[in-house]
């Protein structure tokens, strides 16, 4: 069990921003929400999926929308908690735990806020092992966990409850309401039992956030290169993950729009010697990186992260600015996220990209 406090909160926020792979909204918002709860004396228990009881019944809570909107209409956890209670009411059973649907961004910290508000523990596992832009892009679906009932709620406590034929349709229908709610809404969905949590989620991703956040800080303090430290750390994880520095450069062009409930765009980087260019496309999160318009260096579901080239601080797609100097780092994902069924859900083709998945370590 991990206990969150005001000290390790900084590490968590930084780590979730790394795993957000560009999406998930400004980590400052997630940090503020949690800080507010901790300062009021609220506790947040984080338990590993290895520790859960057989009668565990958990609800996934999240913010849906475009990260560009999160800063303007920040979530506060109260409506998310309400959405969760609505799910309980519909299925006639109380939850005894909360789960993050994704490991990155505001959606990694929001469940901890709902944990503080409800007193329920938060399970250290999620459905994406990172952040993804759509509700059906979860490992839960590899195990056919139902998304229903899917509850959306806004700041007026207006609700929409969906019962959809599959999670893609749940995403399709609820996203339209999200847009009409102003580009952001709170969601509760994917109620899960212990077996489903153990078998279909990506484990210990909150712990991973704490560790990544902490090692970036330590590298800074020790005057080491945060990127090198991250790559080293990934190689030592179990099973080992591949980390690569893909590119160092400055933002040369940036196209970004808030459309259909997402932040979509393209970032063009130029190397410091002006010789090479890197295109990184995003739909909330970075989906692929292409060198000199001809060689894809990394692609979903592998993580593509933008870090400040000096401090190693992760930068989200809504904070990208012309002229920023950044390093693009890629990290391979665990095997559960690379099965055929998983790649159908969140591989390149699922993002409409015209190529099949090549694992990060197979690209030279």
Beta pairing class for 277-283 and 285-291: antiparallel
**Nearest-approach distance from CB 175 to a copy of itself, in angstroms:** 8
- Contact residues toward a copy of itself (CB under 8 A) are 156-165, 169, 172-173, 176-177, 179-181
Residue whose CB is less far from a copy of itself, 180 or 218: 180
The answer to whether 331 touches 360, Cβ cutoff 8 Å, is: yes
Closest CA to 189 of 135, 141, 225, 227: 135
Q: Is 262 exposed, middle or buried (0-12, 13-18, 19+ CB in 10 A)?
A: buried
Residue whose CB is less far from a copy of itself, 135 or 278: 135
- Residues paired with residue 271 on neighbouring β-strands, in sequence order: 249
DSSP at 334:
P
Cα separation of 188 and 82, whole Å?
Answer: 9
Residue whose CB is less far from a copy of itself, 260 or 311: 260
**Nearest-approach distance from CB 88 to a copy of itself, in angstroms:** 15
Residue whose CB is less far from a copy of itself, 158 or 253: 158
**Nearest-approach distance from CB 161 to a copy of itself, in angstroms:** 4
The answer to whether 152 touches 146, Cβ cutoff 8 Å, is: no
Q: Is 52 helix (H, G, I), strand (E, B) or coil?
A: coil
**Nearest-approach distance from CB 209 to a copy of itself, in angstroms:** 34
CB atoms near residue 35 (< 10 Å)? 14
Residue whose CB is less far from a copy of itself, 171 or 318: 171
101 to 105, 134, 218, 235, 264: CA distances (angstroms): 11, 11, 28, 25, 21
**Nearest-approach distance from CB 171 to a copy of itself, in angstroms:** 10
**Nearest-approach distance from CB 295 to a copy of itself, in angstroms:** 37
Residue whose CB is less far from a copy of itself, 189 or 337: 189
């Amino acid at each position: 069990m991990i206990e969150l406090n005001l000290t390790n909160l900084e590490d968590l926020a930084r780590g979730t921003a790394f795993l957000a792979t560009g999406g998930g909204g400004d980590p400052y918002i997630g940090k503020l929400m949690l800080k507010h709860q901790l300062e009021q004396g609220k506790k947040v228990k984080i338990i590993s999926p290895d520790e859960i009881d057989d009668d565990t019944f958990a609800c996934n809570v999240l913010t849906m929308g475009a990260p560009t909107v999160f800063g303007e209409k920040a979530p506060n956890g109260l409506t998310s908690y309400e959405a969760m209670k609505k799910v309980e009411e519909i299925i006639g059973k109380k939850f005894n735990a909360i789960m993050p649907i994704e490991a990155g961004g505001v959606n990694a910290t929001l469940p901890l806020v709902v944990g503080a508000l409800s007193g329920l523990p938060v399970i250290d596992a999620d459905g994406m092992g990172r952040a993804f832009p759509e509700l059906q892009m979860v490992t839960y679906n590899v195990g056919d966990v139902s998304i229903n009932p899917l509850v959306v709620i806004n700041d007026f406590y207006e609700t929409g409850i969906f019962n959809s034929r599959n999670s893609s349709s749940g995403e399709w229908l609820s996203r339209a309401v999200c847009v009409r709610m102003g580009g952001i809404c709170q969601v509760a969905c994917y109620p899960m039992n212990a077996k489903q949590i153990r078998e279909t989620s990506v484990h210990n991703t909150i712990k991973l956030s704490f560790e990544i956040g902490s090692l970036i800080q330590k590298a800074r303090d020790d005057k080491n290169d945060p990127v090198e430290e991250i790559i080293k750390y990934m190689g030592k994880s179990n099973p080992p993950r591949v980390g690569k520095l893909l590119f160092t450069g400055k933002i040369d062009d940036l196209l970004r729009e808030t459309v259909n409930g997402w932040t979509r765009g393209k970032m063009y980087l130029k190397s410091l010697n002006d010789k090479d260019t890197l295109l990184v496309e995003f739909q909330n999160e970075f989906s692929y990186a292409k060198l000199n318009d001809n060689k894809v260096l990394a692609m979903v579901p592998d993580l593509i992260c933008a870090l400040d080239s000096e401090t190693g601080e992760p930068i989200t797609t809504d904070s990208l600015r012309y002229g920023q100097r950044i390093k693009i780092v890629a990290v391979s994902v665990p095997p559960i996220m690379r099965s055929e069924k998983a790649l159908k859900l969140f591989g390149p083709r699922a993002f409409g990209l015209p190529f099949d998945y090549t694992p990060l370590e197979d690209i030279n």
